[in-house]
Structure formats: structure tokens, C-alpha cells
Amino acid sequence: MYAEYDFSVKRAPFVLALVLVALAVIPAAAAKDWLSFERTRAHVGDRVTVSSGWNAHPNGLVAYLVPYALSPSFYKIPYGGMGFNAGPPPALRGVIELGRARPNGHAASLTFSVPRVAPGRYVLGVWCVPCNEHWTTALPNWQPDPHGILRIVR
């Protein structure tokens, strides 16, 4: 008889190295052109800032206030779960354009007054005009950013 060779033991260091490289690269790529709420709770009329630590297109991001329930209609998760939707965002009733983020060094930010909307959870919709892609900061089945949802209270 002969001893069986376990290929999984030999591949383990390679797989581990591949996973570590992916984890190092993916967050850096995902942070580009990303905006987040500065806080997770606000009242109608409060001033709220959305910002990013670094943006590839700091003068080309348009922000929208999207009711959480509408986020799957604003942004459809692409096959495989990664990526953005091509083109400008859809015109949906209840979605409010907040304005264009302004450059702040290598970052971008936008301060807005919370509009008169029903209390509830809202996400940030983002349209990268130069990229011609749009996305949201959270979906009911996907939330990569803890500051991707703003709860508006009375």
C-alpha cells in the first residue's frame, strides 16, 4: 500500500497568502469614491455631513437621501455581490438629491439639512458622475459601512 498525499496541507500557505492579499487590496479599492454619514441618528432640520477619507473623484460625487426600503430599487446588487450599477441613478419617488460633494484635499464632503421626511432609516445614494456609476451605502441584505444608515427621528 501507499500513503495518501494530502494536497490541502501543501496549499494552505498559498491560500492563506491569497486571502491576506485580497483583504489588503479590497478595502483600499472599496474606500475610493465612498461617502458615509458622520453620525447614525438625526432630527429633521439637523445639519449632517457626509464625507470620505479619500476619493478618486472628489468633485464628481452626487449624494442622495434614499429611504432604506427603496435602496434595493436604487442599487441592484450585481452578480457576484461586488461592483456598482452603470449610469445615473434611477428617478424614484421619495429619493431626495442632497447635492454634490465638494473636494477637501484628497477627500470630499457635503453638509446638508435633514429634509422634512418621515421618521425611519435612510441610506446614502451616491452617483459618481465621471465614473457614470451609482450605489448606496447599505442594502437590507448588505451593509459594508456602519455609517451607511442614518436614522431620522422626530
Here the cell at position 117 is 421626511
**CA 33 to each of CA 29, 39, 63, 127: distance values in angstroms, whole numbers, following the listed order:** 9, 19, 11, 9
Q: 123 forms bridges with which residues in the sheet?
A: 66, 149
* Residues 65, 122 contacting (CB under 8 angstroms): yes
Q: Does domain 33-153 have CATH number 2.60.40.10?
A: yes
Give the predicted TM-score (pTM) of the model: 0.76
Q: Which three cell numbers stand for residue 22?
A: 485580497
Tens-digit pLDDT profile for the chain (154 aa)?
A: 555 555 455 665 555 444 444 434 333 334 457 899 999 999 999 999 999 887 788 788 999 999 999 999 999 887 777 778 999 999 999 999 999 999 987 789 999 999 999 999 999 999 999 999 999 998 777 766 778 999 999 8
